[in-house]
Amino acid sequence: MREMEDIFNGRFNYPYVFLNDGPFDENFMSMPWSLTKATVKFGQIPQEHWSYPDWIDQEKAREERKKIQDNKVMYGGNESYRHMCRFESGFFYQHPIMQQFEMYWRLEPGIQYLCDINYDPFLYMKQRNIKYGWTIGIYELMSTVPTLWKSVRKFMETHRELIPEHNSLWWVSRDNGTTHNGCHFWSNFEIADLSFYRGEAYSKFFDFLDHEGGFFYERWGDAPVHSIAAAMFLQKEEVHWFEDIGYLHPGWQHCPSGDAWLKNRCTCDASDKDKTITNAGWGKCSHEWKLLPDTPQEIRRPIIKHTYTRISISHYNFVIIAIYMPFFYLVSVVHGPNLLAAKIYSYI
Ligand SMILES: Nc1nc2c(ncn2[C@@H]2O[C@H](COP(=O)(O)OP(=O)(O)O)[C@@H](O)[C@H]2O)c(=O)[nH]1
Ligand SMILES: [Mg+2]
């Protein structure tokens, strides 16, 4: 949060929202006030957004978790991680605090911003009618989503009317929808227009996937769900690669190069092959985005040419949101220092 203030929000003062499945402790809630002048809100997630829907067989879910854990899949045996992924897929934008906001920017523990951001990405998107912004595109661990694409195909067959002809599906499937290549926007960073999630297409899509059960019987992440939805329902011009934003989430970083690196005072090393997403390997997806054909001019959704003064957006229409788990220190003590606990512990 301090970094966010330093590189961007200290000048823009967008409000922060913290959401948690349990109550926040007083100590945690007192911290942000020393870091920001912006409004900070804390919200508890309603139980129905962080629990099993009645069509899920919890015994089967437990057995499947065990199998996935035995196969050493990351977070394979973790039950709360599944609730988190389902919440981030279908409910965060429905939280009562979020109702007043039009757009959001997701923040997570352990991330770093590596360059200054000298303009307002919310307005940048708004002025160009961009619905979804990302920095890192990466391949998925396919063992977490073995049947996701089968479900997506079922949805596509029954909801053709929701899918525009010039979508971005090529980015997630190179064989005309037969298979999923695993490319997804790494959703630990995303700036998006909440109307995308609240609209008919996404709502029906999430509801359909939720009934398929893969959030619990497999380990479907919100990243592939958001990404496939963006690819399916949006045209290329409505999705934007923030190539100029230097960003690190433990594991990978996107480091701008050339003029942007200098101008924005980046601290990262673009040639660091162990961290930087490049045009090869895991990061190939990012660069392949550029190979996606443009939507023909004549059928592009109208690009709204607002000027700053003509759009009546107050700062309070946009929000920076984080979800936080104060109990992970406890987890690390009870279960030993697994990767997740260690990461969260170091953040706390
Ligand atoms: N409140 C709450 N947040 C969680 C829980 N599990 C994960 N999160 C949050 O979900 C986001 C993703 O979790 P993270 O551990 O970073 O997983 P990764 O980025 O997929 O490796 C972070 O914002 C975490 O704080 C949970 O059980 N409760
Ligand atoms: Mg994370």
Given this model, what pLDDT does residue 313 score? 39
What local confidence, expressed as pLDDT, does residue 110 receive? 94
The rounded Å distance from CA 165 to ligand 2 centre is 34
Nearest ligand for residue 224 CA: 1
Which of 87-91's residues contact partners 24+ apart within 8 Å by CB, and which partners?
A: 87/21, 87/45, 87/49, 87/50, 87/323, 88/187, 88/222, 88/323, 89/206, 89/209, 89/210, 89/215, 89/220, 89/222, 89/225, 89/226, 90/206, 90/207, 90/210, 91/45, 91/49
CB-ligand 1 contact for 141 (6 Å cutoff): no
Extended strands (E) in the chain: 16-20, 40-44, 103-107, 112-113, 132-134, 137-139, 183-185, 191-193, 239-241, 247-249, 252-254, 318-323
Q: Which atom of ligand 1 is nearest to the CA of 340?
A: 15
Count of Cβ atoms closer than 10 Å to residue 339 Cβ: 10
Q: What is the pLDDT of residue 277?
A: 87
Any ligand 1 atom below 6 A from CB of 340: yes
Ligand 1 centroid to Cα of residue 325, in Å, is 7
Q: For residue 124, what are the domain limits? A: 2-347
Report the pLDDT value the prediction gives residue 325, as an integer from 0 to 100.
Answer: 54
Determine the distance from the C-alpha atom of residue 42 to the mean position of all C-alpha atoms in its chain, rounded to a whole number: 20
CA distance 293 to 165: 13
Contacts of 149-155 spanning 24+ positions with Cβ under 8 A: 149/173, 149/179, 149/180, 151/208, 151/209, 151/212, 151/214, 152/180, 152/209, 152/228, 152/232, 153/177, 154/208, 155/204, 155/205, 155/208, 155/209
Per-residue pLDDT tens digits of the chain, which is 348 residues long:
999 999 999 999 999 999 999 999 999 999 898 999 999 999 999 999 999 999 999 999 999 999 999 999 999 999 999 999 999 999 999 999 999 999 999 999 999 999 999 999 999 999 999 999 999 999 999 999 999 999 999 999 999 999 998 899 999 999 999 999 999 999 999 999 999 999 999 999 999 999 999 999 999 999 999 999 999 999 999 999 999 999 999 999 999 988 999 999 999 999 998 899 888 888 899 999 999 988 888 877 654 443 333 333 344 567 777 775 543 333 323 332 332 222 222 222
Determine phi and psi for 280, rounding to 5 degrees.
Answer: -130, 170
C-beta neighbour count of 331 within 10 angstroms: 18
How confident is the model at residue 327, as a pLDDT? 38
Considering its fold, how many domains does the chain have in total? 1
Ligand 1 mutation target, pool 95, 105, 323, most atoms within 8 A of CB: 323
Of the listed ligands, the closest to the CA of 222 is 1
Tokens 């402790």 appear where? 25
Give the CATH number for residue 251. 3.90.550.10
CA–centroid distance, residue 282 to ligand 2 (Å)? 17
Q: Which atom of ligand 1 is nearest to the CA of 80?
A: 27
